[in-house]
Amino acid sequence: MTENGDAGAGGNARLAPAEGGDAVVFAFNPASIVISHMAPMQTSNGHGGHHHGGDDKPNVVVNSTPDEAPKANGTTSIVMRALTFTGQEVRATCDRLLGWTLFKEAAPSAPKKQDLPELRFSWGSQIYLVNLNQVTINYTRFTRDGTPIRAVVDLTLHSVPKIPAATNPSSGGQSGRRTHLLTGAETLPELATRTYGRPEHWREIATANGIEDPLRVRPGARLYLPSMQEGGR
């Protein structure tokens, strides 16, 4: 089932582009959901990409460059098995899911880097920023002309690091301004601590976004993060 990404989906789980667009709504609950978390790899700040260790010391992986630092919070994986889709839109829905596993076109500023589309998985109050890493589709029912009208699908999602992207200064926006999509149970003080190093700077975030009551900010809200110069820190 597919619907516009801005439309409400009730209590159904859904997957949609993080920046907006048509969503895939899971009208039927999966047979199972497995959530696992991989802790970040322990690294040191040495040079080269070697493994060091002796008979009495554990191996330590050394980063070859600063850009290869591990994700600060590790990676959360969500595996949903036996999602059922029915109806005339089954093929279109499955094609959309498969399309989200393809690397998107790289931005001009990073010609050598390609990323999977950033998606938003939501179910009730739970919201995760994810990439769709694996899709397995089993078509189980067809019309007489061979059109699939029922599919059972397995999905594997991996969380996207919660690192706000910097605005391109050449775009005409304010230099250093970034945005962040609130997910899960994130709060403004937590976001301020991760961004500016101190929780009390949530007030600058609230002011920049016209927020009067920080307790009313819900997951899924995209917030501007003011630069150091804007906030006067």
How confident is the model over 147-172, as pLDDT tens digits?
999 999 999 999 886 544 344 433 44
DSSP string, 190-225: HHHHHHHS-GGGHHHHHHHTT-S-GGG--TT-EEEE
Q: What mean pLDDT do residues 53-74 have? A: 44
> What gap in Å lies between CA 126 and CA 220, rounded to an integer?
9
Give the fold, CATH level 3, of 165-231. Membrane-bound Lytic Murein Transglycosylase D; Chain A (3.10.350)
Residues β-bridged to residue 224: 179
In this predicted structure, what is the pLDDT of residue 112? 53
How confident is the model over 74-126, as pLDDT tens digits?
688 999 999 999 999 999 999 999 999 998 765 555 555 568 898 989 887 77
pLDDT-based confidence at 200, cuts 50/70/90? confident
pLDDT-based confidence at 229, cuts 50/70/90? low
Q: What mean pLDDT do residues 203-216 have? A: 81
